[in-house]
Protein backbone atom coordinates (compact mmCIF):
# COMPACT_ATOMS: atom_id res chain seq x y z
CA UNK A 1 0.00 0.00 0.00
CA UNK A 2 1.27 3.43 -0.94
CA UNK A 3 1.54 5.41 2.28
CA UNK A 4 3.00 8.54 3.86
CA UNK A 5 3.18 8.80 7.65
CA UNK A 6 4.21 12.01 9.37
CA UNK A 7 5.64 12.35 12.86
CA UNK A 8 7.44 14.86 15.06
CA UNK A 9 4.69 17.35 15.73
CA UNK A 10 3.96 18.75 19.17
CA UNK A 11 3.61 21.83 21.33
CA UNK A 12 6.50 24.28 21.31
CA UNK A 13 6.98 27.81 22.61
CA UNK A 14 7.30 30.63 20.07
CA UNK A 15 10.93 30.86 19.03
CA UNK A 16 11.44 27.13 19.46
CA UNK A 17 12.27 24.40 16.97
CA UNK A 18 10.79 21.13 15.76
CA UNK A 19 11.82 18.55 13.17
CA UNK A 20 9.06 16.82 11.26
CA UNK A 21 9.56 13.49 9.51
CA UNK A 22 7.58 11.72 6.81
CA UNK A 23 8.07 7.98 6.21
CA UNK A 24 7.19 6.77 2.74
CA UNK A 25 6.30 3.20 1.80
CA UNK A 26 4.76 1.25 -1.06
CA UNK A 27 6.50 3.17 -3.86
CA UNK A 28 9.96 4.17 -5.08
CA UNK A 29 10.53 7.27 -2.98
CA UNK A 30 13.52 8.47 -5.00
CA UNK A 31 11.36 8.73 -8.13
CA UNK A 32 9.26 11.56 -6.76
CA UNK A 33 9.53 15.19 -5.72
CA UNK A 34 7.87 15.83 -2.36
CA UNK A 35 6.30 18.72 -0.49
CA UNK A 36 5.00 19.86 2.88
CA UNK A 37 1.55 21.46 2.95
CA UNK A 38 -0.05 22.84 6.11
CA UNK A 39 -3.61 23.51 7.17
CA UNK A 40 -4.81 25.58 10.08
CA UNK A 41 -7.71 23.86 11.84
CA UNK A 42 -10.88 24.67 9.95
CA UNK A 43 -8.97 26.69 7.37
CA UNK A 44 -7.52 26.21 3.90
CA UNK A 45 -4.35 24.68 2.50
CA UNK A 46 -0.97 26.43 2.35
CA UNK A 47 2.05 25.04 0.54
CA UNK A 48 5.12 25.30 2.78
CA UNK A 49 8.06 23.78 0.92
CA UNK A 50 9.02 21.39 -1.87
CA UNK A 51 12.08 19.34 -2.84
CA UNK A 52 13.03 17.55 -6.04
CA UNK A 53 13.88 13.86 -6.28
CA UNK A 54 17.53 14.12 -5.17
CA UNK A 55 17.35 17.14 -2.88
CA UNK A 56 19.23 19.33 -5.34
CA UNK A 57 16.41 21.80 -5.77
CA UNK A 58 14.12 23.22 -3.09
CA UNK A 59 11.47 25.92 -2.77
CA UNK A 60 9.77 27.68 0.13
CA UNK A 61 6.77 29.85 0.81
CA UNK A 62 7.78 33.40 1.72
CA UNK A 63 6.17 32.92 5.14
CA UNK A 64 8.77 30.28 6.12
CA UNK A 65 11.80 31.19 4.03
CA UNK A 66 14.93 31.46 6.18
CA UNK A 67 13.29 29.62 9.12
CA UNK A 68 12.35 26.20 7.69
CA UNK A 69 14.58 23.73 5.83
CA UNK A 70 13.33 20.79 3.79
CA UNK A 71 15.50 17.73 3.19
CA UNK A 72 15.22 14.08 2.26
CA UNK A 73 17.08 10.79 2.69
CA UNK A 74 16.26 8.48 -0.20
CA UNK A 75 18.10 5.58 1.44
CA UNK A 76 15.68 5.84 4.38
CA UNK A 77 12.60 6.69 2.27
CA UNK A 78 12.12 9.77 4.42
CA UNK A 79 11.30 13.45 4.07
CA UNK A 80 12.07 16.04 6.73
CA UNK A 81 11.16 19.60 7.70
CA UNK A 82 13.39 21.43 10.16
CA UNK A 83 11.35 24.26 11.67
CA UNK A 84 13.21 27.00 13.55
CA UNK A 85 12.08 30.29 15.08
CA UNK A 86 8.52 29.03 15.24
CA UNK A 87 5.72 31.57 15.45
CA UNK A 88 2.12 31.33 16.60
CA UNK A 89 1.01 31.58 12.98
CA UNK A 90 2.91 28.38 12.15
CA UNK A 91 0.35 26.45 14.21
CA UNK A 92 -1.21 23.96 11.80
CA UNK A 93 -1.57 20.36 10.72
CA UNK A 94 1.44 19.57 8.52
CA UNK A 95 0.94 17.10 5.67
CA UNK A 96 3.64 15.60 3.51
CA UNK A 97 2.55 15.02 -0.07
CA UNK A 98 3.93 13.17 -3.07
CA UNK A 99 4.30 15.04 -6.35
CA UNK A 100 2.63 13.22 -9.24
CA UNK A 101 3.72 15.46 -12.13
CA UNK A 102 6.29 18.14 -11.56
CA UNK A 103 6.52 21.47 -13.35
CA UNK A 104 9.51 23.65 -14.14
CA UNK A 105 13.10 22.68 -14.74
CA UNK A 106 13.90 22.51 -11.03
CA UNK A 107 10.99 20.08 -10.58
CA UNK A 108 10.19 20.67 -6.92
CA UNK A 109 6.66 21.86 -7.75
CA UNK A 110 3.77 19.72 -8.85
CA UNK A 111 0.34 18.35 -8.12
CA UNK A 112 -0.05 15.98 -5.19
CA UNK A 113 -1.46 12.48 -5.64
CA UNK A 114 -0.65 10.97 -2.25
CA UNK A 115 -1.04 12.75 1.11
CA UNK A 116 -0.25 11.78 4.66
CA UNK A 117 -2.76 12.31 7.46
CA UNK A 118 -0.59 14.99 8.98
CA UNK A 119 1.16 15.85 12.24
CA UNK A 120 -0.04 18.75 14.39
CA UNK A 121 2.31 21.59 15.32
CA UNK A 122 1.26 24.09 17.96
CA UNK A 123 3.42 27.13 18.73
CA UNK A 124 2.06 28.66 21.90
CA UNK A 125 3.34 30.11 25.14
Only segment of 13-21, 22-30, 56-64, 71-79 that touches another protein (CB under 8 A): 56-64
Considering only 47, 55, 84, 85, the residue that binds another protein (CB under 8 A) is 47
**53-60 contact pairs (CB < 8 A, 24+):** 53/107, 54/30, 57/106, 57/107, 57/108, 58/108, 59/106, 59/108, 59/109
Cα dist. 28→33, 74, 78, 110 in Å?
11, 9, 11, 17
Only segment of 13-21, 23-31, 38-46, 71-79 that touches another protein (CB under 8 A): 38-46
When asked if residue 35 is in the footprint of another protein (CB under 8 A), the reply is yes
Nearer to another protein among residue 67 and residue 109 (C-beta)? 109
Site string for another protein, 3-22 (x = CB under 8 A): --------------------
Amino acid sequence: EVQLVESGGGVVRPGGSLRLSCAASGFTFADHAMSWVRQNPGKGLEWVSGINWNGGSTGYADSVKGRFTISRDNAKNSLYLQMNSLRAEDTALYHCARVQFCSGTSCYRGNFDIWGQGTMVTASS
